Amino acid sequence: MVMKKEISNRRLLWVSGTGWMFDAMDVGMLSFIIAALSVEWDLTAKQMGWIGSIQSIGMAVGALLFGLMADRIGRKNVFIITLLLFSIASGVSAFATSITIFLILRFFIGMGLGGELPVASTLVSESVPAEKRGQIVVLLESFWAAGWLIAAVISYFIIPKFGWQTALLISATPALYALYLRIGLPDSPRFEAIKDKEKISAFQSIANLWTNEYRRRTTMLWIVWFCVVFSYYGMFLWLPSVMVLKGFSLIKSFGYVLIMTLAQLPGYFTAAWCIERFGRKFVLAVYLIGTAISAFVFGNAESTVLLITSGIFLSFFNLGAWGGLYAYTPEQYPTLIRGTGSGSAAAFGRLGGVLGPLLVGYLVAQNTSISTIFTIFCISVFIAAFAVIFLGKETKNKVLV
């Protein structure tokens, strides 16, 4: 019986993780695709900036909408819908002939991506034993790093020779295979237990997040999600450009992105190991503080060695914190509003994903120093860490209800 449960957990992790990985492939390739489109379509800097921002807006909409849907039609059904939306929109975008059409499709890609991530972590959280829940959800997050690695390889070898259209088709096709695997996946036991009971309205679900019982948890999550997403997209989308601005032209963008991506994997794995031994609050607080310190050092680095070293630690701690956040978020709410709670926190966080890159672009245009910009992100991450420490409650080994 134990062996069957372990196999089931591994299968759940693999089926869920493959979709997560293909989502990461698309996001990882976007910066390379933007560069290709800027030449092919003669885009302005403003248009290039909107490609990333419109996807973040779609992610915010998708996280809220599909989070609400997950509490009504089930985690598995929404899991399938979001991946289908992402796959189709990504494949169709390969045939876009104008920036307007491409932006519309990026919005729908963002909706699918934004909806899938919190719903996936919710499904996995509700389907595994309490003593393994945090570890498995963090390992689910590690598929994101694998997707980025594949994206770097595809972008390097495919886009220059075969074009950005081929890269998009490659990213969409395997996602359909993940969809095939997912159809046979059972829904979460927790949702199955309540699905035939009376449902509450979407308005009631959102209102429940702000009752006396959950107000503190919701406030904590919204602060953490906003600060983490704001700093992540502000820092990581600009890392190659920051290196150029610092004068380190010796190191090319591709090689740097690859180094950074490799550093994500030990960040995830150490967080997965620590989260069931020391708890969610410990992992989130330590990895967020590590992220903040690394961001400050990176922004003030004056040598190649220090820049790469601090960049590696930045990636290590930041992605480990992401894993902890995805494990921690669904544990804050009961099954009836878990999808809504996770989705709304992610949706609010995605607003930070819109503001972060835009803020960096504005500050760079104003000749603001890189050290000042990364100090802003350092402070943002410290705020997230303090929110966890002072507002969060430990949920290690908590039995979900």
CATH of the domain at 75: 1.20.1250.20
Specify the amino acid at residue 248. F
Specify the amino acid at residue 297. V
Domain that holds residue 132: 2-181+202-391
- For residue 250, name the pLDDT band (cuts at 50, 70, 90): very low
269 neighbors 143 (Cβ within 8 angstroms): no
Q: Where are the alpha helices (DSSP H) in 158-214?
A: 159-162, 164-183, 189-194, 202-208
CA distances (Å), 99 to each of 33, 34, 48, 49, 58, in order? 12, 11, 9, 12, 16
Predicted pLDDT of residue 229: 95
- Within-domain flag for 353: yes
Residue 251 has pLDDT above 50, yes or no: no
- Within-domain flag for 192: no
- Within-domain flag for 329: yes
The pTM score is 0.88
Average pLDDT of the residues in 326-336: 95
Average pLDDT of the residues in 77-85: 89
Tokens of 167: 């890269």
Q: pLDDT of 277-324, one tens digit each?
A: 999 999 999 999 999 999 999 989 888 788 888 989 999 999 999 999
CB atoms within 10 A of CB 55: 26
Q: What is the mean pLDDT of the chain?
A: 87
- Within-domain flag for 189: no
Predicted pLDDT of residue 26: 82
- Within-domain flag for 194: no
- Within-domain flag for 400: no
Predicted pLDDT of residue 248: 58
- Within-domain flag for 254: yes
Average pLDDT of the residues in 194-204: 84
CA distances (Å), 362 to each of 162, 348, 355, 373, in order? 34, 22, 10, 10
CA separation for the pair 35, 49 (Å, rounded)? 11
Which of 1-10, 185-194, 222-231, 298-307 is the least confident region?
Answer: 1-10
> Which of left, alpha, beta for 138 (phi over 0: left; psi -120 to 50: alpha)?
alpha
- For residue 257, name the pLDDT band (cuts at 50, 70, 90): low
Neighbouring C-alpha atoms within 13 Å toward the C-beta of 270: 18
- Within-domain flag for 399: no
Predicted pLDDT of residue 243: 67
273 neighbors 142 (Cβ within 8 angstroms): no
CA separation for the pair 79, 120 (Å, rounded)? 7
DSSP 65: H
3-state helix, strand and coil shares in percent for the chain, rounded to the nearest 5: 85, 0, 15
Predicted pLDDT of residue 244: 66
Q: How many structural domains compose the chain? A: 1
Which of 237-241, 344-348, 356-360 is the least confident region?
Answer: 237-241
Residue 179 has pLDDT above 60, yes or no: yes
285 neighbors 389 (Cβ within 8 angstroms): yes
Residue 168 has pLDDT above 50, yes or no: yes
Tokens of 19: 């979709």
Residue 54 has pLDDT above 70, yes or no: yes
Specify the amino acid at residue 15. V
Average pLDDT of the residues in 105-110: 94
